[in-house]
Structure 1
Amino acid sequence: MHTTKNFKPIMLAIWASLLLAVIVAFGLARWSLAFVTLATLALSLVPPTLASRWSLTLPVPFLLATTLFFFASIFLGEAFDFYERLWWWDLALHGFSAIGFGLIGFLFVFMLFEGDRFAAPPSAIAFVTFCVAMTIGAIWEIFEFGMDQIFGLNMQKSGLLDTMGDLMINAVGSLIASVTGYLYLVRNAAGLLGRGLAQFIDLNKRLYQKSKNRLKK
């Protein structure tokens, strides 16, 4: 089983590259590029930092996926204007993020039941997974609206059409995540995404086992 320790050199190389890009951008007085790169680096450090604080072990694919997502959305999207160059860039990122947040929502809800598959109907857990992903997507749209109104940015692009398109893509991604969670509970398998769930649960078994002491009380 690969853990974060096995791939620590890879993650350090990615972070070192971003840090070097920040230094070069500052040296060339490319302030906006420096800010975007620094933001990408900071956000990519959030998952492992929170995992360390909460004593979680993150699967390598999760770390790589989050780092690449921040790189694609902030660094490529904003610094290199991929949102304007590629019409599907924003939609793809919204879809992938919805799936990701949905899977995280499933893991959190399943953790509340301490890994007990019979504590709640799989359909109910899947529904909560869908709601978590959609809620996060809606909050992001509110954030985009606020940034546009307060700071005069253009995060919503075409306004209502962009917002509704993002929400529909979020719904599709959320549905994929909820179906994945449902199949994992019912069949203990759900393809590649299901294996990701199983890997996280296996690496953090203490969070998904019924506490014997609690049952005795």
Structure 2
Amino acid sequence: MSRVFADQTLLAKLIWGALGLSVLDALFQGNWPLAAVALATLALSLAPVFAARWAEIVIPPSFITAIVLFVGSTLFLGEVFDFYDRFWWWDVAMHGGSAIGLGLVGFVMIFMMFQGDRYAAPPIAMAFFSFCFALAMGALWEIFEYGMDSLFGMNMQRTGLDDTMRDLMVDVGGALIGAASGFAYLKGLEYGGLPGIIDEFVRRNPRLFRRGGGGRR
């Protein structure tokens, strides 16, 4: 496990360290809400590392860093420092980033089902299904926000229908970017950027993509 953490980026380690210090400082000051949020943020940002270890897969450090940044920005900065209200574009950025990530995850999951066979289905079809996966996850999140507002009197939707529709439109844009990255990868354009992340995941997990030869050569 120590090797897994050693392979992570310096930025991810710094964020984990800052969150750990925030938990200790909040506990020392008796600020229980801050301690709870900081601890939840730390736990959720570490969850992919332990999940990958349990599933015996290797997640590229760059993708782990993106997850850590997203979770920290959503929960810690968004809720503790009220970034959602201070910056109108914060919610847009969070939804767009998550949709891109889900588009990549959706593509990788579908590619795993075909064991890395690039010719098992047309690239446009695989990209379409990864787009649908990302958009479906975005829609489920909006249902979750509605449920939290209705059942517990929270204000996750803020402006109601306008907020929901804006979030879904941003999700569409992010899902398109994630799906397009998968399409570019299948077309052999995996030279850095988001397609490069897919290629790195495939190369680091050859047993899951036997028919594809373990990524670009």
Fold in common (TM above 0.5):
yes
Counterpart of 1:73, as a letter, is: T
Structure-2 residue corresponding to 1:163: 164
* Residues in 2 aligned to 1:205 and 1:4: alpha-carbon distance in whole angstroms: 21
* Residues in 1 aligned to 2:103 and 2:176: alpha-carbon distance in whole angstroms: 8
* Cα distance, 1:188 vs structure 2: 3.8
Residue aligned with 1:38, SS: helix
Change (3 A) 1:61 1:8: closer
* Cα distance, 1:29 vs structure 2: 2.1
CA contact (8 A) 1:91 1:169 kept: yes
Runs of 5+ consecutive residues of structure 2 not aligned to the other structure: 213-217
Structure-2 residue corresponding to 1:48: 49
Counterpart of 1:205, as a letter, is: P
Structure-1 residue corresponding to 2:112: 111
* Cα distance, 1:27 vs structure 2: 1.9
After TM superposition, which residue ranges in structure 1, 4 or more long, deviate above 6 angstroms? none
Change (3 A) 1:181 1:190: farther
16-25 vs 123-132, which deviates more?
16-25
Structure-2 residue corresponding to 1:143: 144
* Cα distance, 1:176 vs structure 2: 0.8
Counterpart of 1:110, as a letter, is: F
| Residue 20 of structure 1 pairs with residue 21 of structure 2 | yes
Runs of 5+ consecutive residues of structure 1 not aligned to the other structure: 212-217
Structure-2 residue corresponding to 1:201: 202
* Residues in 2 aligned to 1:124 and 1:82: alpha-carbon distance in whole angstroms: 38
Counterpart of 1:132, as a letter, is: F
Identity of paired residues, percent? 48
Residue aligned with 1:210, SS: helix
CA contact (8 A) 2:11 2:65 kept: no
CA contact (8 A) 2:103 2:131 kept: yes
TM-score by length of 1: 0.91
99-108 vs 24-33, which deviates more?
24-33
Counterpart of 2:30, as a letter, is: A
Residue aligned with 1:187, SS: coil
Structure-1 residue corresponding to 2:39: 38
